[in-house]
C-alpha cells in the first residue's frame, strides 16, 4: 500500500486527506525522520516532537501566503517534507542538498531564515506589521520553543506586539528542553502549571476553551498537567500582561484538537498565545531516553532498524577536553567558575556541573547576559570561563567590548566550534570571531594546534589577569596525548614546527596539518619550507615571523576563518605598518556565506587545501 506521504508534493495535497488519514501520515513522517536522519545526521529529537503541530498548521493555513516562522528552525524537517521537498529529503544537511534550517533561498515556503534562538517572535511581528501596512489579510504564526523564552530578544518582541499589530498567532511549544533541560525562572514558570485562586477566572476561561475545542479528552489532559506540577500561577497571567489572549495548555500531539484550535485561532482579531505541551523525541524510544544526545546527531549515529546507538570515534572531543580540564583547574583554584548559555552538553560543561554545582551557571539562551554576568563575577575576583559556541558569541559582541575589554576584566571566553561547523551551515559556522575580537584592546586571542596545547592554553588563561579568548574546533583533535601537568605558554609567542627559508607557512590551529602537507609537497620540488604555529592571534609573535620573513620568497597564512579581517589580515597589517614588501598569500574562507556540507568537500571547493596553498604561493617562489 502506498504511503500517504508519497502523495504529498505541496500543502494543497495534504489538505485532500481526512483527519483519520492524517494520523497515519504522522506515523509515516516519524518513520521517514528516523530512517533518514540515521544516515544523514540532524536534529531528530526536536522534529519528532512537532510532527502533529506542523501537520495541523499546514492543514489549516495556506503557505506560502500564510507565514510560519520557526524559532531556531532546526525543527523544520516536517515542514520541508510537506512543502514540495519530499523527494530531496534524503539530501538534508548534505553538500548541495537541503539545508537543516529554514532558508529563504531554498523555498518560498521558508518564510524567514533562522539558526539562532529567540528571533522568531521579532521576525513574525515584522511580517505581521508589514502585512498590516499593506492592507493584507494573511496569517502570521511564530512557533517558539519554551527555551526561546529564556532569550531576551523574545521578551523585547513581546513588549511590542500589542502596540504594533492586532493579528498574530504565537505557539509556545513547551517540551522543557532546548538542547539541555531549560533552566531559570521562566522555565520554572512553564513547568509549574497549576491553578491559583487569585487567577481562577483565567483558568476557567482557558478550560472552557479547551473543552469546546477538544472535548473531555483534552480537559483530562489539562487536569493531568495540573496535578503533576505544583507551584506558580496559571501562566496566562504572564502573557495577558503582554497583551496576548492565552489558550491552553493543550496536548501538542492531539492532532484533531490542534486542527480545530488552528481553525479557531486564524479567525481571531487580536494577538493570541497557544500553549502546547509536547514530548521531544516522541515516537522513538532512544530519542526520548537520551534527550540531550538526540537533540542533534551526526551521520550514522544510530541504527534505525535496531534503535541502538552506533559507537563513534573514541577520541575525546575538544568540548570534552574543555570540561575535564576545567574540573582540574577548579579543583586547584576555588575562584574558577563555569558559565554557559543553555549548552552544558554542547560545551562539555556537563562534566563540570556535578563536580562543582555551586560554581556552575547556566543562564539559558542569553549569550549577552552570560558575558556581562561573567564580567560581574570577574569584577569581584572570580575567574569565570564563559563557554559559548563561536557562532553564538557573535550575539554578545558589544558586551565583550564594553563590559569585559574596556574594564580589562579577567574573563575567559571559550569559543567552541571556532571554524567551520560543516553540516549545520552558515548560521553555525564560527568564521567571524577573529575579525571582531582582534579589534578590541586588552584582549588576548588564541587557538591551539592540538589537544595538549589546548589544555596549556586553558591553564595559561586561568592565570592571565585580563580578558582571554580561546577558539577551538568542533569534534575531536589529532589524538595528541595530553601531558600530566600543563605548562604556561608565553603570551604572544609562537613555535616553529618545521624549519625552512623560501616559503613560510603560518597556520592557525586546525590548518596546521594542511600547512605541513603543503610544505612536504614543496620540498619534493626542492623548495625549502618553514611551518609556524602562531598560537596567538593577538598579540602576534612578530619577532618570530619577521625572523623567517627576512629570507622568504613568500609568507602564506592559513586559517579556518573568513579572510576578511581574519588572521591573515592581521599579518598583512603588521607588514604594511613596517613597510615590508614580502609577498603574503592567504588561505581561508572567502567573503561569502559558506553553505552546509562535508568538511573536506567544502575545503576543496573554497581552496582550503595543501594544493591550494601551493597554487597561491607558486607565483612568488624563486626556484634555485
**DSSP characters over 132-180:** HHHT----EEEEEEGGGGGSHHHHHHHHHHHHH-S--EEEEEE-SBSSS
DSSP 8-state code for residue 419: B
**Is the pLDDT reported for residue 83 higher than 90?**
yes
pLDDT in tens, 43-64: 999 999 999 999 999 999 999 9
User: How high is the pLDDT of residue 239?
Assistant: 87
What residue ranges in 381-476 does DSSP mark as E strands?
Answer: 383-387, 412-415, 444-446, 468-471
DSSP 8-state code for residue 615: H
Give the whole-number percent of the chain exceeding pLDDT 70: 90
Domain 5-289 shares a fold with domain 495-620: yes
Under the banding of pLDDT at 50, 70 and 90, the label for residue 594 is very high
Q: Which residues contact 481 (CB under 8 A, 6 or more apart)?
A: 452
Hey, what CATH topology would domain 318-471 get?
Answer: Rossmann fold (3.40.50)
**Is the pLDDT reported for residue 445 higher than 80?**
yes
Of 223 and 117, more confident: 117
Cis peptide before 249 (omega within 30 of 0): yes
Backbone angles phi, psi at 361, to 5 degrees: -135, 115
Q: Smallest Cα–Cα separation from 320: which of 398, 424, 416?
A: 416
User: How high is the pLDDT of residue 196?
Assistant: 35
- Give me the mean pLDDT over the 300-318 stretch: 88
Lowest mean pLDDT among 222-226, 314-318, 401-405, 463-467: 222-226
In angstroms, the CA 133 to CA 128 distance is: 9
**Is the pLDDT reported for residue 491 higher than 90?**
yes
Of 203 and 485, more confident: 485
**Is the pLDDT reported for residue 178 higher than 50?**
no
Task: Confirm if 300 and 39 have CB atoms less than 8 A apart.
Answer: yes
In angstroms, the CA 284 to CA 34 distance is: 8
Of 174 and 217, more confident: 174
The top-scoring range by mean pLDDT among 85-94, 141-150, 206-215, 283-292 is 85-94
**Is the pLDDT reported for residue 237 higher than 80?**
no
In angstroms, the CA 279 to CA 446 distance is: 41
Cα 121 off chain centre by: 18
**Is the pLDDT reported for residue 599 higher than 60?**
yes
User: What residues does each domain of the chain span?
Assistant: 5-289, 318-471, 495-620
User: How high is the pLDDT of residue 260?
Assistant: 94
In angstroms, the CA 242 to CA 245 distance is: 9
Q: Smallest Cα–Cα separation from 468: which of 284, 329, 366?
A: 329
**Is the pLDDT reported for residue 141 higher than 70?**
yes
Tell me the average pLDDT of the chain. 91
pTM of the model: 0.91
Under the banding of pLDDT at 50, 70 and 90, the label for residue 232 is very low
| Longest CA–CA separation in the chain, Å | 90
- Give me the mean pLDDT over the 99-103 stretch: 97
Please provide the CATH number assigned to the domain covering 5-289.
3.40.50.970
User: How high is the pLDDT of residue 209?
Assistant: 60
Q: Which residues contact 66 (CB under 8 A, 6 or more apart)?
A: 138, 139, 140, 141
Cα 28 off chain centre by: 28
Hey, what CATH topology would domain 495-620 get?
Answer: Rossmann fold (3.40.50)
In angstroms, the CA 183 to CA 227 distance is: 21
Q: What is the CA angle 274-170-220, rounded to 5?
A: 10
Residue 607: how many other CB atoms lie within 10 Å: 15
H and E: helices and strands count for the chain:
24, 17
Task: Confirm if 294 and 281 have CB atoms less than 8 A apart.
Answer: yes
C-alpha cell at 514: 594542511
Q: What are the beta bridge partners of residue 444?
A: 468
User: How high is the pLDDT of residue 313?
Assistant: 75
Distances 558 to 164, 353, 436, 613 between C-alpha atoms, Å: 49, 36, 18, 8
pLDDT in tens, 396-431: 999 999 999 999 999 999 999 999 999 999 999 999
C-alpha cell at 386: 564563559
Strand, coil or helix: 273: strand
Lowest mean pLDDT among 65-79, 226-240, 463-477, 592-606: 226-240
Residue keyed to cell 618570530 = 544
pLDDT in tens, 186-212: 656 555 543 333 333 334 444 556 556
How many angstroms separate the first and last alpha carbons of the chain? Answer: 73
pLDDT in tens, 375-387: 999 999 999 999 9
In angstroms, the CA 93 to CA 98 distance is: 6
Of 98 and 201, more confident: 98
Q: Enumerate the active-site residues.
A: 280, 367, 395
Task: Confirm if 547 and 500 have CB atoms less than 8 A apart.
Answer: no
Give the whole-number percent of the chain exceeding pLDDT 90: 81
**Is the pLDDT reported for residue 233 higher than 90?**
no
Amino acid at each position: 500500500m502506498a504511503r500517504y506521504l508519497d502523495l504529498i508534493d505541496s500543502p494543497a495535497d495534504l489538505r485532500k486527506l481526512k483527519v483519520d488519514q492524517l494520523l497515519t501520515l504522522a506515523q509515516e513522517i516519524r518513520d521517514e525522520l528516523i530512517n533518514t536522519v540515521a544516515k544523514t545526521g540532524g536534529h531528530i529529537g526536536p522534529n519528532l516532537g512537532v510532527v502533529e503541530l506542523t501537520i495541523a498548521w499546514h492543514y489549516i493555513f495556506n503557505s506560502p501566503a500564510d507565514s510560519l516562522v520557526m524559532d531556531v528552525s532546526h525543527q523544520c524537517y516536517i515542514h520541508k517534507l510537506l512543502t514540495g521537498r519530499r523527494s530531496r529529503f534524503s539530501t538534508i544537511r548534505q553538500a548541495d542538498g537541503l539545508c537543516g534550517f529554514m532558508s529563504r533561498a531554498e523555498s518560498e515556503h521558508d518564510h524567514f531564515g533562522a539558526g539562532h534562538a529567540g528571533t522568531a517572535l521579532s521576525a513574525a511581528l515584522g511580517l505581521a506589521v508589514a502585512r498590516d501596512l499593506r492592507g493584507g489579510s494573511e496569517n502570521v504564526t511564530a512557533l517558539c520553543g519554551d527555551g526561546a523564552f529564556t532569550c531576551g530578544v523574545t521578551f523585547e518582541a513581546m513588549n511590542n506586539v500589542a502596540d504594533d499589530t492586532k493579528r498574530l498567532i504565537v505557539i509556545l511549544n513547551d517540551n522543557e528542553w532546548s538542547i539541555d533541560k531549560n533552566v531559570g525562572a521562566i522555565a520554572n514558570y512553564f513547568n509549574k502549571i497549576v491553578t491559583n485562586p487569585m487567577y481562577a477566572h483565567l483558568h476557567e476561561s482557558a478550560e472552557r476553551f479547551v473543552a469546546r475545542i477538544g472535548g473531555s479528552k483534552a480537559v483530562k489532559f489539562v487536569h493531568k498537567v495540573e496535578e503533576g506540577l505544583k507551584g506558580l500561577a496559571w501562566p496566562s497571567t504572564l502573557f495577558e500582561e503582554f497583551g496576548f489572549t492565552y489558550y491552553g495548555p493543550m496536548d501538542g500531539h492531539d492532532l484533531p484538537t490542534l486542527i480545530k484550535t488552528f481553525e479557531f485561532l486564524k479567525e481571531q482579531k487580536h494577538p493570541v498565545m497557544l500553549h502546547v505541551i509536547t514530548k521531544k523525541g516522541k515516537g522513538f524510544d532512544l530519542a526520548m531516553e537520551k534527550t540531550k544526545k538526540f537533540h542533534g546527531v551526526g551521520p550514522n549515529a544510530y541504527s534505525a532498524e535496531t534503535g541502538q546507538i552506533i559507537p563513534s570515534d573514541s577520541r575525546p572531543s575538544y568540548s570534552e577536553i574543555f570540561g575535564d580540564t576545567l574540573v582540574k583547574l577548579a579543583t586547584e583554584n576555588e575562584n574558577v567558575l563555569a558559565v554557559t548559555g543553555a549548552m552544558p552538553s554542547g560545551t562539555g560543561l556537563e562534566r563540570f556541573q556535578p563536580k562543582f554545582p555551586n560554581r556552575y551557571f547556566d543562564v539559558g539562551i542569553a549569550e549577552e547576559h552570560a558575558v556581562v554576568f561573567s564580567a560581574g563575577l570577574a569584577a569581584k575576583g572570580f575567574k569565570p570561563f564563559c563557554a559559548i559556541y563561536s557562532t553564538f558569541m557573535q550575539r554578545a559582541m558589544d558586551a565583550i567590548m564594553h563590559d569585559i575589554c574596556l574594564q580589562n576584566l579577567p574573563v575567559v571566553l571559550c569559543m567552541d566550534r571556532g571554524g567551520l561547523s560543516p553540516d549545520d551551515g552558515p548560521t553555525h559556522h564560527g568564521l567571524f570571531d577573529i575579525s571582531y575580537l582582534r579589534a578590541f584592546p586588552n584582549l588576548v586571542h588564541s587557538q591551539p594546534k592540538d589537544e595538549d596545547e589546548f589544555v596549556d592554553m586553558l591553564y595559561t588563561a586561568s592565570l592571565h589577569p585580563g580578558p582571554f579568548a580561546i577558539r577551538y574546533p568542533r569534534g575531536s583533535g589529532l589524538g595528541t596525548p595530553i601531558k600530566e601537568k600543563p605548562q604556561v605558554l608565553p603570551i604572544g609567542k609562537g613555535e616553529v614546527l618545521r624549519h625552512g627559508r623560501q616559503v613560510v607557512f603560518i597556520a592557525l590551529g586546525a590548518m596546521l596539518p594542511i600547512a605541513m602537507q603543503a610544505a612536504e609537497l614543496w620540498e619534493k620540488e626542492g623548495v625549502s619550507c618553514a611551518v609556524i604555529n602562531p598560537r596567538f592571534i593577538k598579540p602576534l609573535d612578530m619577532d618570530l615571523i619577521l625572523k623567517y620573513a627576512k629570507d622568504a620568497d613568500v609568507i602564506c597564512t592559513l586559517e579556518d576563518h573568513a579572510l576578511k579581517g581574519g588572521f591573515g589580515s592581521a599579518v598583512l597589517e603588521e607588514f604594511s605598518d613596517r613597510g615590508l614588501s614580502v609577498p603574503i598569500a592567504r588561505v581561508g574562507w572567502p567573503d561569502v556565506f559558506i553553505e552546509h556540507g562535508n568538511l573536506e568537500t567544502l575545503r576543496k571547493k573554497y581552496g582550503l587545501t595543501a594544493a591550494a596553498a601551493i597554487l597561491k604561493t607558486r607565483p612568488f617562489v624563486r626556484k634555485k
